[in-house]
Chains A and B, each alone.
Chain A
Amino acid sequence: MSNSIIRVEALHKSYVNGSNSLHVLKGIDMDIQKGEMVSIMGSSGSGKSTLLNILGILDNYDAGSYHLDDIHISKMNETKAAKYRNQYIGFVFQSFNLISFKNAMENVALPLYYQKVSRKKRNNLALEYLERMGLREWAHHLPSELSGGQKQRIAIARALISKPKIILADEPTGALDSQTSLEVMEILKEVNQTGIAIIIVTHENDIANQTQRIIRLRDGVIESNQVNHAFHLESVEVN
């Protein structure tokens, strides 16, 4: 039993569009440990979103292998994919992606709905998670009545409620101002402290610098994969 939550070896992915084939990922190798907080950086077109989609079992890959918590993820039917997504992965998106006609509590509780948890139980749990995000009193508000930061915190609560092993965050602060970004990052770090691995896709150095490891992608290959010393210094300072 290895200690890695995500293990990717020689991953290839191309998009075929008519007669054109676009080779997006050209052999990615990476290994993310349980409880690690990693950022993936790269300019647009570097393949970072594609990689995140594959990691999130939202997309499949052409060659190589992908192990999630030592389970080999290969081509699978949607029902099974949905089950793995629900059990192992929490998603946080740039545009929050909350369901507009459900209030905060219902949005948070939604993953449990798909696990067939009873309504009362999942709503109570959702309230608990909202409490942790400091949004208890906003539980019955619709997303349209909340600020960007609040929405992202609700999205994080939703990602956490199914007790995932890993959180995939796609530009989680992309739509937020710097102050709110900071708050959201603090929350993500707190989440990370509880032992959940976090992968953040970002193009902001400020954000990347707050993670333990920075993986830089360029043209579908890993350009660098370094431990972020700034993070360790910071944690040393904190401790």
Chain B
Amino acid sequence: MFDKDRWQEIFNAIKQNKLRSVLTAFGVFWGIFMLVTMTGAGNGLINGVTDGFKDFAANSAFVWANTTTKPYKGFRQGRQWNFTNDDMASIRREIPEVDVLAPKLQGWNISNGENVIRGLKTGSFRVNGEVPDYNLIDPNEMVYGRYINDMDIHHRRKVCVIGERVYEVMFEKDEDPVGEYLKVSGVWFQVIGVARSKNPNINIGGDKKEMISLPFTTMQQSFNYGNDVHFFGFTSRAGESVSETAEKVTQLLKSKHSIDPEDLEATGHFNVEEQVKTMNYMFLGINVLIWIVGIGTLVAGAVGISNIMLVIVRERTKEIGIQRAIGARPWTIVSQILTESVFLTTIAGFLGLALGTLVLHAADMAIMAAEAAKTSEEGTFFKNPEIGLPMALIALAVLVLTGLIAGLIPAQKAIRIKPIEALRHE
């Protein structure tokens, strides 16, 4: 493949008009550069967003009760109703598709004002009742201590797990909070741990950093919620559709509470699986858009190369004629033009690839620096802009292909030159 005479011709063609070659190559350079930086940015967005919920159980849903909107079995419409502990037991018993079931309490009425007190420190935080299994739906990592366990539930222990923000406000820096007491809405609770959610971008029932979690049973008893369950999360077993399971669950609840099965407003639910699907479609959309724009730009560059190759062929008409007269076969000429086109595209594309990667790297460094310097606890939605090796290989293949296609028309034109006409061409 490496043939000095061939390359001599290529370099000669490029050298003879340096500015023109550079400007032409710039088209392809820009195409690849755009493709690389945009794909990188897209990946950055996807990484940033998914990082915020990647550990959240994707096969989960949350269900809550709303006011009824239809009269049924003698009950009027507009009735308030609540889930109960019995409902949870029924779901467990009658719907085998449900895997994890985590009832929750939400202490709206006890989260008013400065409801948390420790010595001279006070704060206003949300209070939730949780079961240990909730950690399977929305996993936490423990900064201090442990999460709520079955013993806490069974003995209705007065313990609590606090969010990071609660720890910051109620404790000294680096103080060990485990074993300390907080007065939450008038009742003393012993702190057993500080939790940091692995999914900071999904918050259900308040910001998790500002949350105090009590054992579910303790909260029912201490704050007079009786048998109430405010809402619950569940996951479906592997292979079961979350929306179908949610439908079964709500129908069961409606029949137990004498609610019209047709009353769609009486229960609300949030299907994480659906959300993840939607999100994935959105990411797919972003990717498709990036590729369309990137390939489009690249095509524009390729057209430029093709155009300039036509000019080169025209300029070299006489030369090609001479070569043909002294025995160059058409294939010799075609491969010459194609090599030239691919060479120009690949060099330009490589530079684009290199600069694109450099820019992404710089952006990555800048983001990491910004993150390190950041004081507020805002979640990031942009992380690790990058392109992988497969992407780089695809780009390379696309380049060679582009070069070949760009060279095709000029090459066709070159072999259509009759030597005799070329020799007449002065």
Residues of A near any B CB (own CB < 8 A): 53, 56, 58-59, 78-79, 82-83, 85-87, 91, 93, 95, 97-102, 106, 110-111, 113-115, 119, 158-159, 162
Contact: A79 with B326, CB < 8 Å?
no
Give the Cβ gap from A51 to chain B, nearest Cβ, in Å: 12
CA A115 to CA B420, docked complex, whole Å: 21
CB-contacts of B311-342 with A (<8 A): 318-319, 321-332
B327 touching A53 by the CB < 8 A rule? Answer: no
Of chain B, the residue at the smallest CB distance from A79 is B329
Contact A82 B329 (CB under 8 A): yes
Chain A residue numbers with a CB within 8 Å of B321 are 97
Q: How many of B's residues come within 8 Å of A, CB to CB?
A: 25
Stretch among B4-12, B153-161, B208-216 lining the A interface:
B4-12
Known contacts A59-B420, A97-B318, A97-B322; A114/B9 CB under 8 A: no
**B363-396 interface code vs A (CB 8 A; 1 in, 0 out):** 0000000000000000000000000000000000
- How far, in whole Å, are A97 and B320 apart by their CA atoms in the complex? 11
B8 CB contacts on chain A under 8 angstroms: 101-102, 106
Q: Is B419 on the interface with A (CB-CB < 8 A)?
A: yes
Contact A85–B327 (Cβ < 8 Å): yes
| B330 CB contacts on chain A under 8 angstroms | 78-79, 82
Q: Which residues of B contact A (CB under 8 A)?
A: 4-5, 8-9, 12, 318-319, 321-332, 415, 418-420, 423, 426
- Chain B residue nearest to A102 (CB atoms) is B8
Would A59 and B327 be within 8 Å (CB), given that A93-B423, A102-B8 are in contact?
no
| CA distance in complex: A117, B181 (Å) | 93
**Residues of A close to B9: CB separation below 8 A:** 101
A53 touches B326 (CB 8 A): no
Residues of chain A lying within 8 A (CB to CB) of residue B4: 119
- In the complex, are the beta carbons of B420 and A110 less than 8 A apart? no
Contact residues in A for B419 (Cβ distance below 8 Å)? 58
Interface residue from B319, B415, B418, B426 paired with A99 (Cβ < 8 Å): B319
- Report the Cα distance A207→B426, complex, angstroms: 25
* CB-based nearest B residue for A78: B330
The answer to whether A78 and B329 have CB atoms under 8 Å apart is yes
A55 to chain B, nearest CB (A): 12
Do A86 and B423 have beta carbons less than 8 Å apart? no
Residues of B within 8 A of A79 (CB): 329-331
Query: A56 CA to B426 CA in the complex, in Å?
Result: 20
Set of chain B residues within 8 Å of A83, measured between Cβ atoms: 327, 329
Nearest chain B residue, comparing its CB with the CB of A119: B4
B327 touches A86 (CB 8 A): yes
- A78 / chain B contacts, CB cutoff of 8 Å: 324, 329-330, 415
**Contact call B326/A85, Cβ cutoff below 8 A:** yes
| Given A58-B419, A114-B332, A162-B5 contact (CB < 8 Å) | no
Q: How far is the CA of A86 from the CA of B331 in the complex (A)?
A: 15
Q: Does B423 lie within 8 Å of A97, measured CB to CB?
A: yes
Contacts of B328 in A (CB 8 A): 82, 114
A172 CB to nearest B CB, Å: 14
| Closest CB pairs A-B (n = 6) | A86-B327, A101-B12, A58-B420, A114-B327, A82-B329, A97-B322
How far, in angstroms, from A162 to B327 measured CA to CA in the complex? Answer: 10
In the bound complex, residues from chain B placing their C-beta under 8 Å from that of A59 are: 418, 420
**A91/B326 contact (C-beta < 8 A), A79-B331, A101-B12 known:** yes
